Amino acid sequence: MTTTKTTIKVPKPTAWPLVAAFGLTLTFAGFLTSYLVGIIGGILSVIGFIGWFKDRFPNNLEITVEVEAHHIPAPVHSTKSTHEEHPHHRAILPLKIHRTQSGLIGGIAGGIAMLIVSVIGSFIMHGSPWYPFNVMSASVMHSITEQNLTNFNAIAFVVALGIHATLSIGIGLVYGVVLPLLPKHPIILGALIIPFIWSFLLYATMNTLNPVLNETVNWSWFLVTQFVFGFVAGIVVSKSEKIQTLQFKAFAERAGIETGKND
Amino acid sequence: MTREAYNPLSSKFHDWVVTVDHKKLGVMYIVTGILYLIVAGSEALMMRWQLAIPNNDILSPDTFNAFFTMHGTTMIFLVGMPILLGAANYFIPLMIGARDMAFPRLNAFGFWLFFFGALLLYFSFLGGQGLSGEEGAPNVGWFAYAPLTSTTFSPGSATDYWVISLFVAGLGSIMTAINLVTTILTMRCDGMTLMKMPLFAWMMLVDAALILIVLPPLAVIQIMLLLDRQFGAHFFDAQAGADPLIWQHLFWFFGHPEVYILIIPGFAYISEVIPVFSRKVLFGYPLMVAATVSIGFISLGVWAHHMFAVGLSPAVLAYFSGATFLVGVPTGMKIFNWIATMWGGHIRFATPMLFATGFVSMFVLGGLTGIMLAVVPMDWQLSDTYFVVGHFHWVLFGGLLFAIFSGFFYWFPKVTGRLLNETLGKWQFWFLFVGFLVTFGPMHMAGFEGMPRRIYTFMPGRGLELWNMLSSIGAAIQVVGFILFVINVFWSLRKGKIAGDDPWDAWTLEWSTTSPPPPWNFAETPQIASRRPLWDLKHPDDPDWKYE
Ligand code: HEM
Ligand SMILES: [Cu+2]
């Protein structure tokens, strides 16, 4: 530690702002009590302001303090248990992610697996493969009623396939982003927990949203098909190759303007 | 000068009264705020006692009116405001490497205006004559709607006390906001460009700017109301042809930004705590700055969401509903950024971090109930019910108060030289957290069941008994948390672990000086090159400025 003595000037402590503030408060308190209080307050605040200004003009009243040098930088006296810093303290985590395609492929694979299982289930329970298509399309098609759920309906078939494909791919893409964020048990998370959460949400709200549709759904079988989707999509995504994010590359490289070194 | 001599906490009464030092003033603000927290908390406890069972008679209807008015007014103006101004006062100069605020004497003036204004408000218990002529304190609610505030409905001087004391305290806040803006804009140390300031400074800059924009209009309508009441002006008098709704518009033009004035400092505290306790750089600093500025702007244009039920035209309803939804966007960005900062970090769940994560989780929920209220038909159903009470306590208690405790545990060692006790701190957190959930969760349910806010009692057999009993039990649980806090502070001031300069291994400038800091803050004015100056000092081989 050095012992060089420097001095700095700081404003002299003063009670005038306090007096002015007290006076001002009393001035207004005059409205609440009596004019006398208000007048006393007015006088006090004028005195306070004059005193304050005389602290400033003609000379700025200051006192000199002796500055003791103290250690900069401070030695670290930390309560932190380890002195090892986070190796990626500046990075955007996770450092490695899946390619966009893997989410896409995972979604398609999960969607196909789910389709197969649903059709088999429909055969067993209703003696017809068309039940799930009709129920799915019923959410947007008014012509589908409880009576014709097992008949083949071409429009319903196409609509249902469209909804199913969109949802499967959408959720597959979400898996692609979310699973590497929770790298510990991607399969359990993807196959069980996430499908369970959304199935539960759907189960809890469907009765309010569309009670008739709710009647037609076999919820335990529904859950099974969701698990199948989650399991297949989860495996496909988490087994796919991971790549480094571009965060350590220069902007020109990220934008594809420069190719950078081969690595 | 020995070190003991400049310890601000060991100096004499006289030194405090005449001080113009930003640190002493900061401490005075915060201590006053905490004292009023205890007062307003006790008022709330009495109300919960009254509401624990139907047809209770602990508090008379008039006393109840005075209590909810004083509780709300106190919490917002005498607890939230001084604590946030005090923390800014204490830490902004330290964080930006300055020796004091730009206007030290104005700083003292601002504090004393607040201090005397607050005393005046509480003097009303002795001086004012309220609705019944018996109760002394203001009883018109914290937003004091016209025409209830006219002399016809509120004779006596209780309402004038509300007007004048808040006017005086508000003047103080305006002075301090001027000081903060000037300090942040002009007194940063060498190398600290705006985009290298700690986020705390950015957020308080926006906050002070909001104060400057909306507190003067509040002062104006308070004067107008005073003129109405004392001199027969007719600004808000319907019988003289005025529209009392104008009060609501003008009040909420202040009132909505005010809730952001209260929560942005909360954002500021946890934006300092979360990176340090995750050992990672704050995620998306520029985005955080942008989000804060846009929250400030948007919050100026959403006030009528407090007035959906007064009969606004569909176009106005649609605008204010849409604008309110819009606030959710920058707010959501912040939440993602805090989570992304914690993501994959080496998280230490010390008490400051516990409160910070409590903040993030609870604030999300409070924001969501806010969005529910921004849906006009939903608000028609829920406005003026306990659902609204649930909503704003979620953001003010689970949000602001948790953030204040986070900051308190984080910076207490800097201010006093001693750490708060961690064990007591964790117990405090859990009592407050559970108590908070049990108190304010059921309020949403009571609101759904149709319980209006601000009623002094309720009838049995309307599905409200369980929710109210739970809320009151929750309040009792919270009391334990608050008592642990008070014990912790007194114990730690004497016996707490010596902190050293930098107990958390943090990165901003306040940790580079001694704890407590000397009157001159820094022996040499600092020079910085990055947002984490202390990281650079501690790791000369791997400095931040190469990456920013
Ligand atoms: C996305 C965020 C938010 C939204 C959309 C929102 C929306 C709303 C709406 C629509 C109301 C009016 C309800 C009514 O009276 O019918 C309200 C009330 C309120 N909000 Fe929020 N809010 C949000 C965040 C906050 C925050 C952060 C705070 C404070 C820190 C807050 C504090 C309050 C208070 C104090 C009231 C009640 C005022 C009163 O009537 O006494 N809100 N909020
Ligand atoms: Cu609002």
Contact indicator for A165, A188 with CB cutoff of 8 Å? no
Q: CA–CA separation, B335 vs B341, rounded Å? A: 10
Q: Which residue has the tokens 């791919």?
A: A169
**The token pair that represents B350 in the structure block:** 């010390």
Residues of B in contact with A25 (CB under 8 A): 113, 116-117, 119-120, 168
- Contact between A225 and A198 under an 8 Å Cβ cutoff? The reply is no
A48-80 tens-digit pLDDT: 999 999 998 888 888 888 887 765 545 555 666
CA neighbor of B493 nearest in space, from B65, B102, B78, B27: B27
Tens digits of residue pLDDT in A146-179: 777 888 889 999 999 999 999 999 999 988 888 8
Of B170, B149, B278, the closest CA to residue B224 belongs to B149
Bigger pLDDT: B511 vs B13 = B511
Q: Average per-residue pLDDT in chain B? A: 93
- What are the phi and psi torsion angles at B277 (to 5°)? -90, 0
Choose from A7, A9, A18 for mutation: most chain B CBs within 10 A.
Answer: A18
Residues 6+ apart with CB under 8 A from B230: A31, B160
Tens-digit pLDDT profile for residues B67-107: 999 999 999 999 999 999 999 999 999 999 999 999 999 99
Task: Give pLDDT, residue B273.
Answer: 97
Q: Could you tell me which residues are beta bridge partners of residue A9?
A: A64
CA distance B452 to B474: 20
Q: Is B335 left (phi over 0), alpha (psi -120 to 50) or beta?
A: alpha
What six digits make up the tokens of B456?
């002094």
* Rounded Cα–Cα distance for residues B546 and B539 (Å): 12
Map residue B244 onto helix, strand or coil. Answer: coil
Query: Chain B interface, mutation test: which of A19, A28, A53, most B Cβ atoms within 10 Å?
Result: A28
Evaluate whether B439 touches B475 at the Cβ level (below 8 Å).
yes
Of B366, B449, B353, residue with least CA distance to B409: B353
- CA nearest A170: which of A104, A101, A98? A104
Q: At what angle do helices B402-416 and B245-278 cross, to 10 degrees?
A: 60
8 Å CB contact of A33 and B117 = no
Q: Which residues in chain A have Cβ-Cβ distances shorter than 8 Å to B115?
A: 21
CB B325 within 8 A of CB B267: no
The answer on pLDDT for B223 being more than 80 is: yes
In 3D space, the residue among B297, B306, B302 whose CA is nearest the CA of residue B320 turns out to be B302
Can you tell me which residue has the tokens 């291994």? B505
Q: What is the pLDDT of residues B298-338, one digit of tens each?
A: 999 999 999 999 999 999 999 999 999 999 999 999 999 99
Give me the pLDDT at residue B530, please.
92
Task: Say what the pLDDT of residue A8 is.
Answer: 84
Predicted confidence (pLDDT) per residue in B279-298, tens digit: 999 999 999 999 999 999 99
Averaged pLDDT for residues B449-462: 94
Please give, one letter per residue, the 3-state secondary structure of B51-113.
HCCCCCCCCCHHHHHHHHHHHHHHHHHHHHHHHHHHHHHHHHHHHCCCCCCCCHHHHHHHHHH
pLDDT score of B395 more than 60: yes
Interface residue A85 vs chain B (CB under 8 A): yes
Nearest-atom number in ligand 1 for the CA of B143 is 41
Angle, alpha carbons B132-B138-B143 (nearest 5°)? 125
Per-residue pLDDT, B422? 96
| pLDDT above 50 for A197 | yes
pLDDT at A71: 55
Can you give the pTM of this predicted structure?
0.88
The mean pLDDT value of chain A amounts to: 84
> Alpha-carbon distance B533 to B262, whole Å?
28
CA dihedral A31, A36, A37, A43 (to 10 degrees): 110
| Interface touch B113/A74, C-beta < 8 Å | no
Structure confidence at residue A82 as a pLDDT band (50, 70, 90): low
Residue linked to tokens 């098909």: A225
Hey, what domains does chain A have and what are their CATH numbers? 5-72 (1.10.287), 97-244 (no CATH)
| Binding site membership of B178 for ligand 1 (Cβ less than 6 Å) | no
Q: Give A247's pLDDT tier (boundaries 50, 70, 90).
A: confident
Q: How confident is the model at residue A263 (pLDDT cuts 50, 70, 90)?
A: very low
Query: A152: closest CA among A178, A185, A119, A182?
Result: A119
Q: Residue A38 is encoded by which pair of tokens?
A: 């208000």
Per-residue confidence (pLDDT) for residue A1, from 0 to 100: 41
Return the higher-pLDDT residue of B493 and A78. B493
B328/A262: higher pLDDT: B328
Q: Quote the CA–CA distance of B88 and B86 in Å, as a whole number.
A: 5
Return the residue matching tokens 């060498």: B190
pLDDT the model gives residue A68:
75
Ligand 1: does its nearest atom lie under 6 Å from the Cβ of B80? no
Architecture category of domain B19-546 in CATH: Up-down Bundle (1.20)
Q: How many CB atoms lie within 10 A of CB B133?
A: 11
Q: What is the pLDDT of residues B34-58, one digit of tens each?
A: 999 999 999 999 999 999 999 999 9
Which of B118-122, B217-221, B519-523 shows the lowest mean pLDDT across its residues?
A: B519-523
User: What are the counts of helices (DSSP H) followed by strands (DSSP E) for chain B?
Assistant: 18, 0
Residue burial A33-61, b: 16+ Cβ < 10 Å; e: rest: eeeebbebbbebbeebbeebeebeeeeee
Cβ of B502 within 8 Å of Cβ of A76? The answer is yes
Contacts of B18 (CB under 8 A, 6+ apart): A13, A14, A15, A18
Distance of alpha carbon B298 from its chain centroid, rounded? Answer: 19
Spatial separation of the C-alpha atoms in residues A134 and A196, rounded to whole Å: 23
Residue range B437-460: mean pLDDT, rounded: 95
Average pLDDT of A238-260? 74
Closest partner CB to B100 (pick from A10, A28, A29): A10
For the question of an ipTM over 0.85, the answer is yes
**What ranges in chain A are assigned the alpha helix state H?**
16-29, 35-56, 100-126, 131-138, 154-178, 186-188, 194-209, 211-216, 219-239, 251-254
Q: Is A168:A195 a contact under the CB 8 Å cutoff?
A: no
**Phi, then psi, of B316 in degrees rounded to 5:** -65, -45
What the block records as the tokens of B352 is 């400051």
Alpha helices (H) along B279-350: 285-299, 314-342
Per-residue pLDDT at A81: 58
Task: Give me the residue from A31, A56, A80 closest to B226, CB to CB.
Answer: A31
* A72 close to B (CB below 8 A): yes
Convert the pLDDT of each residue in B412-436 to its tens digit.
999 999 999 999 999 999 999 999 9
CA distance B268 to B261: 11
Query: What SS3 state is found at B402?
Result: helix
Q: Does A65 touch chain B (CB under 8 A)?
A: yes
Q: Which of residues 140-199 of A touch B (CB under 8 A)?
A: 181
CB B158 within 8 A of CB B136: yes
Q: Do A11 and B157 touch (CB under 8 A)?
A: no
Yes or no, beta carbons of A72 and B105 under 8 Å apart: no
Hey, which of B382, B395, B402, B444 would you mutate to test ligand 1's pocket, going by the most ligand atoms within 8 Å of its Cβ? Answer: B395
Lookup: tokens for B520: 């001159």
Cα–Cα dist B211/B177, whole Å: 6
- For the segment B508-526, the average pLDDT, to the nearest whole number, is 89
Reply yes or no on whether the pLDDT at B7 is more than 60: no
pLDDT at residue number A2: 46
Rg (CA), chain B: 23
Q: Give residue B316's region: left, alpha or beta (phi > 0; psi -120 to 50).
A: alpha
Q: What is the dihedral of CA B29, B33, B36, B41, to 10 degrees?
A: 180
